[in-house]
């Protein structure tokens, strides 16, 4: 099975399982798991943040980030393609009592031009705008990455208007691989940062919220309240740490293969694609003759698995368990389509 439905489908490697078996553990609800404690410190230090909190999913770290930055009745600004808006089950409304203002940006990215005149709260009858949510790299936006300049401009705007910035960095590893931006830079931009180890890095479970000590202490209470207090999670932290130490460097290969796939698709008359838009491991392309669901089913018959990502849009997402051999096989299937 050539599975490009997502970069979440990877299975733990033997070496990763060994790292898990060798992990020293304790009860993390008591704060006594040495492996997760050390890992939280390591990732926080990597990004230049004060503290980190290991959580089961990217959804939980995003929602905890919003929870600690907002009060009920506040509003957050996000690109209309944002994960927090589209794929988190309405969690922001339910868990934080906040409303989301989706903004029509560019490939999942916001910039200051889109944010002008969106900040509210001066009058009693307006929701108070509190947070700008950024996704880097973008998911529904097709893996687009922010440049340093773009991020700094948004941060400047946020400071000017007394807004926080939450950075959804589910694929920040891909963004860093693609742009070469240093991890510490992101602490200049994000008040809260969510990073995932279970996407392209290939851990079975795990994300982390990064922020100040005070906010992380607050997030820890909500994690417990929301049922995310975990016990001997050194096992999971060891897998995530193995992934970080060993798989980050593999992302550039995913990006190379994604570019190659885009080239193959661009030579096929049944599809249209903007090859220049492929910056990371995600390839979005449009079907010209049949709808996306039908085309995805036809590829599946040849054991090549993508996901429909709109009526006429398909997404292919690379990860380290799809290699050059698989790339060649899928290229043949596509060329013969």
Ligand X SMILES: *Cc1c(COP(=O)(O)O)cnc(C)c1O
334 binds ligand X (CB under 6 A): no
User: How many other β-carbons are positioned within 10 Å of the β-carbon of residue 119?
Assistant: 21
| Partner residues linked to 169 by β-bridges | 195
Least distance between ligand X and beta carbon 170 (Å)? 3
Q: Give the whole-angstrom CA distance, residue 214 versus residue 302.
A: 52
- Position among 75, 135, 191, 326 found at the interface with ligand X (CB under 6 A): 135
58 interacts with ligand X by CB under 6 A: yes
Nearest to 136 by CA among 124, 144, 127, 125: 144
Q: Which token pair is 140?
A: 């529904």
* Max CA separation in the chain (angstroms): 61
Q: What is the smallest separation between the CB atom of 91 and ligand X, expressed in angstroms?
A: 10
Nearest to 149 by CA among 122, 116, 185, 117: 185
Q: Applying CB under 6 A, does 66 fall inside the site for ligand X? A: no
- For ligand X, which residue has the nearest CB? 58
- Counting contacts by CB under 6 A, is residue 55 touching ligand X? no
Pick between residue 171 and residue 271 the one whose CB is nearest to ligand X: 171
Least distance between ligand X and beta carbon 6 (Å) = 8
Give the span between the Cα atoms of 108 and 78, in whole angstroms: 9
Task: Name which of residues 198 to 237 contact ligand X (CB under 6 A).
Answer: 198-199, 207
158 binds ligand X (CB under 6 A): no
The length of the chain is 337
By beta-carbon proximity to ligand X, the closer residue of 198 and 331 is 198
Among 74, 75, 79, 168, binds ligand X (CB under 6 A): 168
Residue 284: name the closest of 297, 296, 275 by CA.
Answer: 275
- Least CB distance to ligand X at residue 79 (A): 11
**Considering the rule CB under 6 A, would residue 57 count as an interface residue with ligand X?**
yes
Q: Nearest approach, Cβ of 193 to ligand X (angstroms)?
A: 12
195 is a contact residue toward ligand X (CB under 6 A): no
Determine the 3-state secondary structure of 167 from DSSP. Answer: strand
Please state whether 107 falls in left (phi above 0), alpha (psi between -120 and 50) or beta: left
Shorter beta-carbon distance to ligand X: residue 139 or 280: 139
């Amino acid at each position: 099975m050539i599975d490009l439905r997502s970069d979440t489908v990877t299975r733990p490697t033997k070496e990763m399982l060994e790292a898990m078996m060798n992990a020293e553990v304790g009860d993390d609800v008591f704060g006594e798991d040495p492996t997760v404690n050390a890992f939280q410190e390591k990732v926080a230090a990597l990004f230049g943040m004060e503290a980190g909190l290991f959580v089961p999913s990217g959804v939980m770290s995003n929602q905890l980030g919003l929870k600690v930055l907002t009060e009920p009745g506040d509003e957050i600004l996000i690109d209309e393609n944002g994960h927090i808006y589209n794929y988190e089950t309405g969690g922001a409304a339910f868990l934080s009592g906040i409303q989301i203002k989706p903004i029509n940006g560019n490939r999942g990215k916001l910039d200051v031009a889109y944010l002008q005149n969106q900040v509210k709260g001066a009058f009693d009858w307006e929701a108070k705008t509190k947070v700008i949510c950024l996704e880097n790299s973008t998911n529904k936006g097709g893996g687009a990455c922010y440049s340093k300049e773009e991020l700094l401009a948004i941060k400047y705007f946020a400071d000017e208007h007394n807004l926080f910035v939450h950075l959804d960095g589910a694929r920040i590893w891909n963004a860093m691989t693609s742009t070469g931006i240093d991890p510490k830079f992101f602490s200049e931009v994000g008040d809260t940062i969510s990073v995932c180890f279970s996407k392209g890095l290939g851990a079975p479970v795990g994300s982390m919220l990064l922020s100040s000590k005070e906010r992380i202490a607050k997030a820890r209470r909500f994690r417990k309240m929301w049922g995310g207090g975990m016990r001997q999670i050194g096992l999971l932290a060891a897998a995530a740490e193995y992934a970080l130490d060993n798989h980050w460097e593999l992302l550039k290969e995913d990006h190379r293969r994604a570019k190659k796939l885009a080239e193959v698709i661009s030579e096929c008359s049944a599809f249209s694609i903007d090859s220049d838009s492929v910056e990371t491991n995600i390839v979005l392309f449009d079907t010209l003759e049949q709808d996306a669901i039908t085309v995805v089913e036809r590829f599946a018959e040849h054991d090549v698995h993508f996901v429909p990502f709109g009526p006429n849009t398909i997404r292919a997402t690379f990860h380290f368990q799809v290699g050059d051999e698989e790339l060649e096989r899928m290229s043949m299937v596509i060329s013969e389509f």
